[in-house]
Amino acid sequence: MSASDGASSAERSGTSMNGTEDVDSSPVERLRLPNFHDRLSLRQQVADALRAQLVTGQMRPGISYSAPKLAQQFGVSATPVREAMLDLVSEGLVEVVRNKGFRPTTLSGAELDALAEIRAMVEIPTMALVAGGCVGEVAAAVENLRPLARQIVVAAQSLDLITYIEADTEFHLRFLALHGNPVLVKVVRDLRARSRLYGLQVLAEAGKLGQLAVEHEQMVDLALSRQVEPMRVLMTQHIAHLRSVWAGDAGVSE
């Protein structure tokens, strides 16, 4: 109904105080709700940490994880862990196991290939566009990504896969965000969370994660010198690397 649409957009824009009787009688306005800000961010932090565990394969399909035990390790109560797990359930990353907790869902090689194909379609041209328009504020923002690119290299050297994935995710999403399309960033965030890089450990132990890691500093340099085609080539190579690391056995191929 258009009347309720109007009321809800008025609420969102903060103009409901002197609004119509429609808005004054909104049931939500009469509720005394606690502020969930801190709890929500804890839930998000736990969810992000679990996503990194899933992507790197530290949490594996076929194994059930109980919320209270995970909570103990996180040093938090079970509630935010359970809530974070339910977020991951709704994203299709884990499933509920009755009386046991949660289990990571299994993705086939074909499904992982499909995810990588979409990432290539979205990320390669978008990074090329950012490189093409890399002046002024965009260039300053790209320069600000340099410490994160360094952190990725250090994480690769110390075989810290969780930090690697978390920094890598932040780096790519912040870089892509410079194109100015938040919907695109959300799509890539979802695609990345569904990826499984089981071969990362093998790659790291073979001393080959460093090569993947230094590509991030190269992305910064290419954008700052506005080299569109080399950026396209580098991103194609970067995503192709990922395709080779999720199987675990293909990770060490030259």
Binding mask 117-156 for Zn ion (x = CB under 5 A): ----------------------------------------
Return the residue matching tokens 């790291």.
204
Nearer to Zn ion by Cβ, of 67 and 156: the residue is 156
- Min dist CB 103 to Zn ion, Å, is 28
Task: For residue 219, give Cα distances in angstroms to 14, 94, 129, 143, 227.
Answer: 41, 33, 13, 11, 10
| 83 is a site residue for Zn ion (CB under 5 A) | no
Separation of alpha carbons 17 and 33, rounded Å: 17
Q: Is 97 helix (H, G, I), strand (E, B) or coil?
A: strand
The C-alpha atoms of residue 161 and residue 158 are separated, in whole angstroms, by: 9
Residue 65: φ, ψ to 5°:
-120, 125
The token duo for 58 is 């530290």
Q: Which is nearer to Zn ion, 83 or 168 (CB)?
A: 168
CB of 220 to Zn ion, least distance (A): 12
- Output the smallest distance, CB 88 to Zn ion, in A: 22
Stretch near Zn ion under the rule CB under 5 A, chosen from 57-65, 118-126, 131-139, 168-176: 168-176
- Interface with Zn ion (CB under 5 A), residue from 83, 131, 168, 219: 168
Q: Which residues bind Zn ion (CB under 5 A)?
A: 168
